[in-house]
């Protein structure tokens, strides 16, 4: 499966826990089946939504291997492999490659802010140890590091297998610059839900989102409408789903998506503390939103 | 001429000075003719580009009256009337109304930051003294005040003649919220040049821009392509003009637009110090950009 | 009177208006007398507190001339002369010099953000036209422009009569850097009320403040305690007046100082709209604070 | 050893690695001895400087136990126990208590931003499982979370063993507010090196710093001078060491402190990638700074 096929709606998985806080793999399997049945064009385990940062190494391995087996190459799988250390990131990336990932996603998470040189080296070291493509991921909101377009272009042009960029700042000018500087050759993906319509219009090849856990049809229809050039239809679809997209972003994706899956009949447990479950009032609001969208 | 007609490309005028720094009205007349010949759908004198903040009251009056006479209702004219004091803003707004403006634009410029209550009262006091519509203008980059969507909606619903909103934060989420909360009923306009494509796609009724002083055809064609639903064409037109849009924004609109008009054969003098003329290197860059776009 | 004498508590005047919003010069005279009787070491008319930005040119002239006459060289007078244009700033600065100002204060207020080169030229042009010293003033909160320490040092070393710096960012590291880079030779002044204690400890030569309109004794005692090296006493005095210092900063200096003067028996009217009078609840709070400090 | 004894200079340890990147415990032992010989009043292992965030759980345990044994209650030891999950933080905190820590330090590090309720619960859960005091630590620069003074006061008043606060925003107003709201009863500590002088003057009980690895005498003398009320001496000592304090902060504490220890004859290896060693030019600059301070 070639990297060219990574496009459209890229669905992020949650990581289900049971009442004791242990991995619930059967629920994970069901949530992946729902995404595929919902029509997503790719699956991304262990990302922000998947609480990858909150798992032990052993848990991380288990979820990565189980997810890859469950997807079983029906669609491309992009595994998020970010870790605070370069060695840890490299280990996860190799594990993902060995177990069949089509690509890995890599965010330079930080405790100490990294210099541009440190970020560059981080990508180089991991890139040199892999054969599959890397999707560079910029998300200062979670990582504490904002990579400039200059730095991203430098990494893309120097590290062979960094071939895709996921941009989650929510600032569409970043996508414009990636497009202009690469003369349209660098595939970029949108990771900011409320920017879905405009990012596609600006040329994003895909939308990385946890929303298909809840409203896969609306997500896929939006993508189709842009592809077929039906601008009014796309605009209508976007504004229809926007309140939900805003809600899941503001409420925290693990909390809101897990609450939404429960409302839709799949019990996936609570996020891992200090992340908390959605409170009752917000659950009611989410329930109303979801029923309005049916 | 009804306010419903304010849409499309709203061209901002510069304010020409002669070598001694005095108003050059003949050059102002020529620059307005160029905008109208270029096909703009409305004209906006004395805005940010027009150095309205740097004029004496007498100069301001002269430019307002001259501009309104020159346009002579061939297209709607929206006069920017912002002043630090409420009394000064009211005076300018009445002057504009008396001399035939179709609408006024009003930005709460500040020395001391204003509370929400102070901003509300500022709009109420000016609104109560006028019969023509007010376009509320949000631009924290120049005014030092960022009006929340909540505050804007409160003003719009309480002050009768605040009927349009110009948003220049560059954050498209503000436009989304204005659209959602007004259920599509509140006309909003984009004041951030590099957001031109996406703002139209998100439903902006117009694009407030100084760019038509230099590239009116490309601006108007972009608007037409979105209106007719030709998404690929719109995207192509947008990326073609984007480097110039970025350049004039970063270089400061009075400096870059005045330099560009000189390159295109109309001498309009320098901006008023401390604003400076575009330096030689940037002029050469602008010249190359403009010739690439012919 | 030499510039060396500018030190200690530099008291800012308000600009009183009558019920019709016109200048109330007798009240201005009384407020200046109170400051001098309160023991301030210098007087600064037409600053932020003095609503200098909200006056017409004619009003500005009147207040400047009246204030200089009233002080009559009993203490040094530093007139704030900031205007959006370089020509306007120059005119005010010359007027102040001709009418006997010991120094002028100059803040690069902005509508369009200024480049470093534009700011430098702005100071150079005004400096070249004056014989008295200029206190460079950095206050991004009101001016919209933050001058780096690099830029400030460049201006100080290039423009002869820029000989003092007033820093109002509230970031004490700026003062540290001014002190280190000038090897202790550049007099710097603190313009952030809640930083009064630490700025003096770090070497500030003076505290530019509107607080002496209300609590001149506490302000002057704090300065004395630092000068005499009574650290515990200084700390006690600082924490005692800090709630009031926080209150007047957050409430806006023109509104809170004018309300406080009324509570202390001097009617100076309301600030000029859109600035508003302090609301009733805040007035009561201010009254309690002031009586606690007697 | 009571918590009352936690005051003065609180020295942070680095975590030495050998050429293969494994823990170098003998070097750790030597670095701790240097701190104690240097006169620090307390020792803090596994903090930001100690690369606590970059260690495996097994390494973390080893360093915690070794450090506590090495200090052997000669001075109080405060172990940093922050982890992304509440369970992990609790585990580390209990481990530290069981191995003899006098207190633990706890920073709410984040991947997903935490709500105030989540932060509160995080402290409550960990606090309820411990008998020793917790120093609440606010450092948005590394943790991505900025706790308001309101939230801090709420945690301090509700969670019994949160009895101290370390503030590292660099904004001295936070310390003022902690002092005012607790009426001087809440011990607060400064974690921002270039704020050392002013924080002590404002009432900080201690300075949490890695600087004593390099210049323990200057750090301790500054503390003594403030305690004895010698303001001029304190100011002189502060400005003397400030360039070094600025340098180690900007260059990243693990990189700069490890380079400095090497220059002073103790080899402690490199920081763990992606953190990098100090480059050659910066090492030369550091060497000059250190020899200027001898």
Please tell me which of the candidates B170, B172, B203 has its beta carbon nearest to residue A235.
B203
- CB-based contact A110:A138 (threshold 8 Å): no
Q: Which of C166, C189, C205, C258 is catalytic?
A: C166
- B85 in Cβ contact with C274 (< 8 Å): yes
How many CB pairs below 8 Å do chains A and D form together? 87
Instruction: Work out the percent of chain B whose per-residue pLDDT is above 70.
Output: 99
The secondary structure of D127-170 as a DSSP string is HHT-SS-EEEEE-HHHHS----HHHHHHHHHHSTTEEEEEE-SS
Helix ranges, chain C (H): 25-38, 57-71, 86-98, 116-128, 140-143, 149-158, 172-181, 196-201, 216-227, 231-251, 253-263, 280-292
Q: Give one DSSP letter per residue of chain A, joined into a string.
A: --GGG--EEEEEPP--B-TTS-B-HHHHHHHHHHHHHTT-SEEETTSTTTTGGGS-HHHHHHHHHHHHHHHTTSS-BEEE---SSHHHHHHHHHHHHHTT-SEEEE----SSPPPHHHHHHHHHHHHHT-SS-EEEEE-HHHHS----HHHHHHHHHHSTTEEEEEE-SS-HHHHHHHHHHTTT-S-EEE--GGGHHHHHHTT-SEEEESGGGT-HHHHHHHHHHHHTT-HHHHHHHHHHHHHHHHHHHHH-HHHHHHHHHHHTT----PPPTTS-PPPHHHHHHHHHHHHHT-
Mutation choice for A interface testing from B200, B231, B236, B289 by most A CBs within 10 A: B231
Region B18-36: mean pLDDT is: 98
Average per-residue pLDDT in chain A? 96
Contact A8, A222 (CB under 8 A): no
Q: How far is CA B26 from CA B11, B17, C37, C273, D131, in A?
A: 18, 10, 58, 37, 83
- Tens-place pLDDT, residues B237-286: 999 999 999 999 999 999 999 999 999 999 999 999 999 999 999 999 99
Q: Which 3 state secondary structure label does DSSP give D103?
A: strand
Residues pairing with C137 in the sheet: C166
Tell me whether residue B239 is one of the annotated catalytic residues.
no
* Residue A126 to residue A104: CA distance in whole angstroms: 11
The H-assigned helical ranges of chain B are: 25-37, 57-71, 86-98, 116-128, 140-143, 149-158, 172-181, 196-201, 216-227, 231-251, 253-263, 280-292
Name the residue in chain A with its Cα closest to that of D52. A111
Backbone angles phi, psi at D86, to 5 degrees: -65, -40
Partner residue opposite A235 with nearest CB, options B201, B232, B239: B201
Q: C266 is written with which tokens?
A: 């001097």
For chains B and C, CB pairs below 8 A equal 87
Which chains contact A through at least 3 pairs of Cβ atoms less than 8 Å apart?
A: B, D
Contact: C170, D173; criterion CB under 8 Å:
yes
Nearest-by-CA chain A residue for B172: A195
Residues of B in contact with C276 (CB under 8 A): 115, 117-118, 121
* Cα–Cα nearest to C218, from C201, C204, C237: C237
Nearest-CA neighbor of D10 among D80, D78, D93?
D78
CA distance D251 to chain A (A): 9
Assess A280–D contact: CB distance below 8 Å, yes or no.
Answer: no
| Residue carrying the six token digits 């990385």 | A208
Whether A165 has a pLDDT exceeding 80, the answer reads yes
Which of A231, A206, A214, A266 lies closest to A75 in space, CA to CA?
A206
Q: Please, which chains are in contact with C (at least 3 CB pairs closer than 8 A)?
A: B, D
pLDDT tens-digit profile of C71-113? 999 999 999 999 999 999 999 999 999 999 999 999 999 999 9
Across the interface, whether the CB atoms of D235 and C172 are under 8 A apart is answered no
> For the purposes of burial, counting CB atoms within 10 Å of the CB of B19, is it exposed (0-12), middle (13-18) or buried (19 or more)?
exposed
Q: Which of C168, C170, C172, C188 to mutate to test the interface with D (most CBs of D within 10 A)?
A: C172
Question: What letter would DSSP give residue C273?
Answer: T
Tell me the catalytic residues of A.
137, 166
| A113 CB within 8 Å of a chain D CB | yes
- Given an 8 Å threshold on Cβ–Cβ distance, is D239 in contact with C176? yes
Chain B residues touching residue A179 (CB < 8 angstroms): 239
Mean pLDDT of chain B: 96
Determine if the peptide bond prior to B137 is cis (ω within 30°).
no
- Would you say D133 and D76 are in contact if contact means Cβ atoms under 8 Å apart? no
Residue corresponding to tokens 């609570």: A270
Distance (Å) from the alpha carbon of C202 to chain D's nearest alpha carbon: 7
Residue B274: which of C118, C252, C276 has the nearest Cβ? Answer: C118
Residues in chain A: 294
CA distance A218 to A237: 7
Q: By the CB < 8 Å criterion, does C176 face chain D?
A: yes
Per the listing, tokens 């030779």 go with C185
pLDDT for res D1? 44
Q: Structural domain boundaries of chain A?
A: 3-234
- Are the CB atoms for B184 and B199 separated by under 8 Å? no
Q: Model ipTM?
A: 0.95
**Chain C and chain A touch, per 3+ beta carbon pairs within 8 A:** no
Interchain CB contact of C230 with D (< 8 Å): yes
C-alpha to C-alpha distance for A94 and C132, rounded to whole angstroms:
70
Residue range D175-190: mean pLDDT, rounded:
97
The tokens describing B86, both together, are: 């409420």
In this predicted model, what pLDDT tens digit does every residue of C222-236 receive, in sequence order?
A: 999 999 999 999 999
Q: Which residue of C51, C112, C252 to mutate against B (max B Cβ within 10 Å)?
A: C112
The verdict on D84 touching A (C-beta cutoff 8 Å) is yes
Using N-to-C axis directions, what is the helix angle for C149-158 and C172-181, rounded to 10°?
40
Q: Do D232 and C229 touch (CB under 8 A)?
A: yes
* Cβ distance of C179 and D229 shorter than 8 Å: no
Q: Which residues contact D17 (CB under 8 A, 6 or more apart)?
A: D23, D24, D268, D269, D270, D271, D272
* B130–chain A nearest CA distance, Å: 35
Structure tokens that stand for C260 in this block: 């406080």
The answer to whether residue A53 neighbours chain D at the CB level (below 8 Å) is: yes
Which numeric CATH code is attached to A3-234?
A: 3.20.20.70
Buried b (16+ CB within 10 A) or exposed e, A212-241: bbbbbebbbbbbbbbeeebbebbbebbbeb
pLDDT of residue C5: 80
Residue D68 has pLDDT above 60, yes or no: yes
Chain C environment of D180 (Cβ under 8 Å)? 239, 242-243
> Is position C233 annotated as part of the catalytic site?
no
B1: confidence class by pLDDT, cuts 50, 70, 90 = very low
Using DSSP's 3-state secondary structure scheme, residue C13 falls into: coil
Interface contact flag, D114 A21, Cβ < 8 Å: no
Q: How far apart are CA D246 and CA B271, in angstroms?
A: 41
Please report residues of C whose CB lies closer than 8 A to that of D201: 197-198, 201, 231, 235
pLDDT at C1: 44
Chain B positions in Cβ-Cβ contact with residue C53 (cut-off 8 Å) = 84, 111
C-beta separation of D245 from D226 below 8 A: no
> Chain C contact for B273, CB < 8 A?
yes
pLDDT band at B3 (very low <50, low <70, confident <90, very high): low
Whether the predicted model's global pTM rises above the 0.90 cut: yes
∠ Cα C175 C176 C181 (to 5°): 100
D154, D127 in Cβ contact below 8 A? Answer: no
How do residues B92-136 score in pLDDT, each as one tens digit?
A: 999 999 999 999 999 999 999 999 999 999 999 999 999 999 999
Q: Which pairs with CB-CB distance under 8 Å and at least 24 residues apart come from D221-225?
A: D222/D196, D222/D197, D223/D8, D223/D9
Q: Which of D170, D235, D243 shows the shortest C-beta gap to C201? A: D235
Looking at the complex, report in whole angstroms how far the Cα of residue B232 sits from the nearest Cα belonging to chain A: 8
Model confidence band, residue C3 (pLDDT cutoffs 50, 70, 90): low
Q: What does the pLDDT look like over A119-142, one tens digit per residue?
A: 999 999 999 999 999 999 999 999
Residue B53 backbone dihedrals phi, psi, to 5 degrees: -75, -15
Strand order in the sheet with B78-80: B42-44, B8-12, B206-209, B188-190, B162-167, B134-138, B103-106, B78-80
Contacts of residue B275 in chain C, CB cutoff 8 Å? 112, 114, 118
pLDDT on residue C294:
80
Q: Does C85 touch chain B (CB under 8 A)?
A: yes
pLDDT tens per residue across span C167-204: 999 999 999 999 999 999 999 999 999 999 999 999 99
Largest CA distance in chain A: 51
In whole angstroms, give the CA distance from residue B274 to residue B278.
Answer: 12
ω into C274 cis (within 30 of 0): yes
Gap between the Cα atoms of D49 and D24, Å rounded: 16
Residues D97, A154: Cα–Cα separation, whole Å? 47
pLDDT bin (cut points 50, 70, 90) of residue B4 is low
Residue of A172, A177, A225, A227 to mutate for B, most B C-beta atoms under 10 A: A172
In C127-166, the residues whose Cβ lies within 8 Å of chain B are: 141-142, 144
Banded model confidence at residue D3, pLDDT cuts 50, 70, 90: low
């Amino acid at each position: 499966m070639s990297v060219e096929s990574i496009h459209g709606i890229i669905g992020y998985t949650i990581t289900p826990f049971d009442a004791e806080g242990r991995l619930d793999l059967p629920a994970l399997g069901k949530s992946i089946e729902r995404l595929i049945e919902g029509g997503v064009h790719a699956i991304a385990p262990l990302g922000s939504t998947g609480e990858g940062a909150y798992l032990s190494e052993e848990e991380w391995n288990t979820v990565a291997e189980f997810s890859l087996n469950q997807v079983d190459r029906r669609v491309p799988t992009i595994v998020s492999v970010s870790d605070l250390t370069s060695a840890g990131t490299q280990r996860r990336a190799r594990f993902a490659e060995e177990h069949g990932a089509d690509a890995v996603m890599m965010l330079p998470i930080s405790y100490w802010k990294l210099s541009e040189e440190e970020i560059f080296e981080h990508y180089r070291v991991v890139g040199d140890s892999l054969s599959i493509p890397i999707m560079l991921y910029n998300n200062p909101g979670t990582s504490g590091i904002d990579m400039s377009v200059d730095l991203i272009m430098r990494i893309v042009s120097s590290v062979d297998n960094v071939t895709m960029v996921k941009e989650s700042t929510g600032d569409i000018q970043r996508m414009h610059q990636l497009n202009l500087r690469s003369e349209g050759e660098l595939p970029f993906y949108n990771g900011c839900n409320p920017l879905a319509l405009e990012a596609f219009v600006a040329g994003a090849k895909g939308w990385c989102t946890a929303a298909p856990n809840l409203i896969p049809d609306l997500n896929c229809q939006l993508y189709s409408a842009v592809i077929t050039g039906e601008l009014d239809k796309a605009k209508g679809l976007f504004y229809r789903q926007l309140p939900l997209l805003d809600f899941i972003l503001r409420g925290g994706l693990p909390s809101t998506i897990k609450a939404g899956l429960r409302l839709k009949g799949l019990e996936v447990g609570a996020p891992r503390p200090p992340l908390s479950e959605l409170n009752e009032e917000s659950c009611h609001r989410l329930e109303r939103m979801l029923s309005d969208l049916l």
